[in-house]
């Protein structure tokens, strides 16, 4: 079923088959319904990690409007908001955690800046039937490269993470083996872009994906990327883990 977002969000429509692994690692998204936007609702509940993928005072009108559009689509059931925590382990269901994986004082790179609005402001939405993840991204002032524009590394980071979430969705534990980006137009700090990623092909442990970074009005193509993610081999990753201890 086509769930094309109406222009200007994207002009492309991706048809893919439903994957048997659908929803496995990112199932959490369904378990956390989006609360109404009120100051109280945005506070994290006691005992639960803070979900950063919710509107805050730094979000621009464009970001809020897009968020509302996607949220409306989640009600139709094909899209799900992906919650975002500052520790990677909080994203992984207990049943999928490895014995050695205990929470430490580490942070997911994208959530390394606590202050609102100056780092990576983003929220991702998953469309499992299209094997697609769209990220609404508002780069803050601490992500500067050239004056007034987002650093290319920050663009690479948000692409890697959006594509990575898409790959995790179809293949579980994966790592980036290759990421190739063409930068076409600089992204102004404080603007909002759509990072639209999809799975193109799965060959054994290899997941091939592609991505476009576009302005909200669809008029500017900021970047295009392709990526290869490899599903981790349990035996090999245990060896890697052993060598790290
Ligand atoms: C993990 C789950 C956690 C869930 C958390 C959810 C949180 C959600 C929140 C937020 C979203 C965040 C999302 C994450 C996004 C960030 C991801 C990163 O930044 S990852 C860090 C950077 N990447 C590395 O450091 C990799 C370093 N490389 C390696 O460790 C290995 O090379 C690895 C694992 C990629 C592959 O090693 P092998 O030993 O398992 O596999 P081999 O046998 O070498 O290759 C398998 C097949 O792939 C091809 N291959 C491997 N690397 C290739 C390459 N670079 N180019 C082309 N082909 C390659 C090979 O030719 C082979 O192909 P043939 O099966 O023979 O056909």
Question: Would you state the pLDDT for residue 134?
Answer: 98
Q: Which pLDDT tens digit goes with each residue over 200-223?
A: 999 999 999 999 999 999 999 999
Question: Would you state the pLDDT for residue 239?
Answer: 53
160 is catalytic: yes
Give phi and psi for 134, each to the nearest 5.
-115, 130
Ligand 1 lined by 236 (C-beta under 6 Å): yes
Number of H helices, E strands in the chain: 5, 7
d(CA 116, CA 230): 33
Ligand 1 lined by 51 (C-beta under 6 Å): no
Ligand 1 lined by 206 (C-beta under 6 Å): yes
Q: Which residue out of 51, 160, 200, 217 is catalytically annotated? A: 160
Spans of the chain below 70 pLDDT: 1-47, 237-245
Question: Would you state the pLDDT for residue 215?
Answer: 98
Note the helical H segments in the chain: 28-31, 39-42, 61-75, 152-171, 234-244
Ligand 1 centre distance from Cα of residue 229 (Å): 5
Strand partners, 223: 183, 213
Ligand 1 lined by 97 (C-beta under 6 Å): no
Q: Which CATH superfamily is domain 24-243 in?
A: Hotdog Thioesterase (3.10.129.10)
Helix, strand, or coil here: 158? helix
């Amino acid at each position: 079923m086509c769930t094309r977002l109406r222009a200007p969000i994207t002009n492309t429509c991706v048809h893919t088959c439903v994957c048997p692994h659908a929803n496995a690692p990112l199932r959490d998204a369904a378990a956390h319904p989006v609360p109404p936007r009120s100051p109280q609702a945005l506070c994290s509940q006691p005992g639960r990690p803070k979900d950063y993928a919710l509107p805050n005072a730094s979000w621009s009108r464009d970001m809020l409007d897009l968020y509302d559009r996607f949220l409306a689509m989640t009600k139709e059931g094909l899209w799900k908001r992906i919650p975002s925590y500052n520790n990677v382990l909080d994203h992984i269901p207990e049943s999928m955690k490895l014995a050695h994986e205990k929470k430490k004082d580490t942070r997911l790179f994208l959530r390394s800046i606590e202050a609102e609005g100056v780092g990576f402001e983003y929220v991702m939405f998953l469309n499992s039937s299209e094997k697609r993840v769209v990220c609404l991204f508002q780069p803050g002032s601490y992500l500067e490269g050239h004056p007034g524009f987002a650093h290319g590394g920050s663009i690479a980071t948000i692409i890697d993470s959006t594509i990575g979430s898409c790959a995790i969705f179809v293949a579980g534990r994966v790592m980036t083996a290759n990421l190739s980006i063409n930068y076409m137009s600089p992204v102004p700090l404080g603007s909002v872009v759509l990072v639209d990623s999809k799975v193109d092909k799965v060959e054994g442990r290899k997941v091939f994906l592609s991505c476009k970074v576009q302005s909200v009005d669809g008029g500017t193509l900021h970047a295009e990327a392709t990526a290869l993610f490899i599903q981790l081999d349990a035996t090999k990753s245990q060896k890697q883990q052993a060598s790290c201890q």
